Structure 1
Amino acid sequence: MKGLLWVLTLFALAVGVSLAAHFNDGYVLLVFPPYRAEISLNFAILLILTAFVVLYVLLRGASLTLSLPTRVREFRERRLREKTIGTFHDVVRLLFEGRYSQAMKKASEAHAAGQSPALAALLAARSAQRLHEPYKQQAWLERAALDDPKLQPACLMLEAEMQVEMQRFDEAVSALKRLQEISGRHIAALRLELRAQQGCGNWDEVLRIARLLEKRNALLPELAQEIKLKAHRENIRQRRSDLARLQAYQREMPSREGSPRLARAYAEALMELGADADAQRFIEAQLDVEWDSRLVSLYGQNRGGDLTSRIACADKWLPQHRDDPQLLLALGRMCLAQRLWGKAQSFLEAALSLSEAREVRLELARLFEETDRSDEAMHHYRAAAGEHLVAQ
């Protein structure tokens, strides 16, 4: 339909021009002494239009002829760019397909051809990393940094990843520090540094980075809590030989990062250092805030401190936690240590009725040995040995 309208328009235009020329009686007089020429105005207009078209064609042809070398060069450059883009598309596709050997081969070809050599070297380094070939990766990283200094941050990130995978954590931390000097820290670099600092055992740095990532919503709260818990426990373990440092660390620890597992680790460290009274007070305060059966068990294993006050304190917990075998076991142990045979036996037998744990039977066996009831002691020793074999 659109073509038909154009045809009709052209015919109408032709008719209009024809009618205008028919009624045009003008003429053009050309004088060039001693010559004179007289032509119609219509013919003069036609000659002018024809001369314009011929001149345009000649000039256009000359322009195209003169620009031919430039156009050929641009054509070749365009073909080279298209080929380069195609090559990089192949490299990226092969990387995602997991065909790392072919990806590295393609990237090597692109680098040798001078097609964005820095980027080609970076892609080859990534392929070498996936193939676990650190020497090739390092060589490609050096080429990439040499070809284009702007790729230095990317090279350092790849180098740090390589060092972490090879468990060279100190070297990974060094690479990330150089990265920070160049471009600052970002989320991916912080996550990588978190792994490297964990490998180095720099638990104070682990805590700092984990808190920062959690603040930026870059770590799940559960994962952040587990990482911080492990860091705190390792820091407590490193301070087990110095009571003052251990207690100072506990005081400085944020309350929101506390947990029953961390409380047990701190209480065990206090007991190892012989600070039984401090361990007693800490466990009692912790249990008043949050009940934890394992911490109660640790409370009963503490052999130092004032046993009488500890037994009295545990008796206060008993009405609210009668069905907790660990509390009954702790009371039995403390009464046994105080040579309160009758109370110890009643608590231990109550714990055994709730949970036939091996440790309960061993405590009963010790009790019966202390009270010269060898047959009953042997019965519990055999039962404990049978439970141990079943557990294995």
Structure 2
Amino acid sequence: MKSLFWILALFAAAVALALGARMNDGYLLLVLPPWRIEISLNLFILLLALGFVGVYAALRTFFLAAGMPQRAREYRERQQKARAAVVFQDAVRLLFEGRFGQALKKATEAHAAGTAPGLSALIAARAAQRMRESGKQRGWMQRAKLDDPRTEAATLMLEAEMMNEARRFDEALVALERLQATHGRHIAALRLELRARQGAGDWDGVLKLARQLAKRDALPLEVVSEIKVQAHLANIARHAGDRGELSAYLRGIAADERNWRIVLAAARALTALGADAEAQKQIESVLADDALDAAWQPELLVIYGRLAGGEQTARIARAEAWLRQHPDDAVLLLALGRMCLRQRLWGKAQSYLEASLAVAESQEAHLELARLFDLLERSEEANKHYRASARSEVH
């Protein structure tokens, strides 16, 4: 419809122009002595229009010809940028494909062409690091820092990641501190920091970061829980030589972070320091709570049965209460036998030790019975259990 309107408008204009020219009887007289030129006004208008078109075409042609070198240069530059962009894309693709040598070559070409120089340098640095060419890696990292200030955060993140992979954890922490000072803390940086602090042995820092990541749902709960356990175990080992420091640290462990592995390590460290009463409390706190994960552990019962200090009678009473819930636990029966033997409760000790052997044969139970019969001067029975313990050891 619009096209039809314009066609009709052009026809109307043409008709109007023809009628106007036919009705126009004017003329133009040009006098340039000794010449006189007389032409119709219609012809003059036509010649004037043609002259304008001619001058415009000539000027247009001149400027196009004069600007052709510039346009040629701009065309070549666009072509070079397009080729450089393809090279940069190839560098990224090759890096993800694991073809690091070719990725380094393409990234070098893209950097020389000026295509995203900061990112091209980062790609080259990553490729060089994967190829274990540390000299090239450092050089490209330096170029990335200088070429484009906008890539500072990316450069520091990559530097921290590469330092972690090279097990240079202190340097990774330095890079992350610079990153956090200028760009704040985010989840990816916290994960890198967690890895660096694990490698550096900063277990207090690991616990702090694990709690932060748990609040942000940045790691599965099972992973966070295991990280916390490993951190607590490392801290317990670090404080194992000082009873005061160890006790203070154990009191500071949150209830939701305590499990049987932590209690087991704590009990072993406390018994090595002669703090049997405190070790008893630690073990009882976890064995009395069946809701804890896999709380009923034989290792805890073994230590509990060997505790020499503290209230032995109360300890026996507590273990006998557990026995009502776990009547067929050979390790618990052995622990009760040892405690009764220590208290010189000969009959109960023999009963518990024999019950333990009835549930499961063990060298420890035979040795404890042999000791008991030695104390009772029943040599024949003692020798029988010594021989049985030797056979258990051989098996």
TM-score (norm 2): 0.85
- Is the CA contact (8 Å cut-off) linking 1:369 and 1:377 kept in structure 2? no
Distance change (3 Å), C-alpha of 1:14 and 1:148: closer
Distance of 1:51 and 1:353 partners within structure 2: 124
Aligned match of 1:380: 388
Give 1:32's match in structure 2, choosing from 29, 42, 59: 29
Structure 2 unmatched ranges of 5 or more: 32-36
Q: Which amino acid aligns with 1:219?
A: L
Aligned match of 2:297: 293
Aligned match of 2:228: 228
- Is the CA contact (8 Å cut-off) linking 2:369 and 2:382 kept in structure 1? no
Distance of 1:362 and 1:26 partners within structure 2: 139
Aligned match of 2:34: none
Name which of structure 1's ranges 75-84 and 322-331 shifts more when overlaid on structure 2: 322-331
Q: Say if 2:104 is the partner of 1:104.
A: yes
- Is the CA contact (8 Å cut-off) linking 2:107 and 2:124 kept in structure 1? yes
Distance change (3 Å), C-alpha of 1:70 and 1:378: same
Shift of 1:127: 0.2
Secondary structure of 1:67 counterpart = helix
Per-residue CA distance 1:235-291 (angstroms, 9 max, x = gap): 111112222222222222222211121122222222121111222233223333335
Shift of 1:327: 1.8
Per-residue CA distance 1:215-245 (angstroms, 9 max, x = gap): 1111111100100111111111111222222
Name which of structure 1's ranges 100-109 and 371-380 shifts more when overlaid on structure 2: 371-380
Per-residue CA distance 1:106-128 (angstroms, 9 max, x = gap): 22233344444333221110001
- Is the CA contact (8 Å cut-off) linking 1:122 and 1:141 kept in structure 2? yes
Shift of 1:213: 1.2
Distance of 1:168 and 1:116 partners within structure 2: 29
Aligned CA RMSD, in angstroms, stands at 2.9
Distance of 1:324 and 1:213 partners within structure 2: 40
Aligned match of 1:338: 343
Shift of 1:53: 4.5
Shift of 1:9: 8.3
Aligned match of 1:129: 129
Give 1:356's match in structure 2, choosing from 349, 361, 368: 361
Distance change (3 Å), C-alpha of 1:362 and 1:109: farther
Structure 1 unmatched ranges of 5 or more: 388-392
Distance of 1:28 and 1:339 partners within structure 2: 148
- Is the CA contact (8 Å cut-off) linking 1:366 and 1:377 kept in structure 2? no
Aligned match of 1:390: none
Shift of 1:56: 4.4
- Is the CA contact (8 Å cut-off) linking 1:351 and 1:360 kept in structure 2? yes
Q: Which amino acid aligns with 2:333?
A: L
Q: Which amino acid aligns with 1:352?
A: L
Q: Which amino acid aligns with 1:327?
A: L
- State how 1:1-392 maps to structure 2 within 5 Å: 25-27=22-24, 29-33=26-30, 35-38=37-40, 50=50, 53-290=53-290, 291-294=295-298, 295-370=300-375, 371-372=378-379, 373-387=381-395
Paired residues, number? 381
Distance of 1:192 and 1:114 partners within structure 2: 31
Name which of structure 1's ranges 97-106 and 343-352 shifts more when overlaid on structure 2: 343-352
TM-score (norm 1): 0.86
Shift of 1:185: 2.4
Distance change (3 Å), C-alpha of 1:156 and 1:22: closer
Secondary structure of 2:28 counterpart = strand
Name which of structure 1's ranges 176-185 and 27-36 shifts more when overlaid on structure 2: 27-36
Name which of structure 1's ranges 58-67 and 331-340 shifts more when overlaid on structure 2: 58-67
Distance of 2:241 and 2:268 partners within structure 1: 12
Secondary structure of 1:289 counterpart = coil
Distance of 2:119 and 2:333 partners within structure 1: 68
Secondary structure of 1:304 counterpart = coil
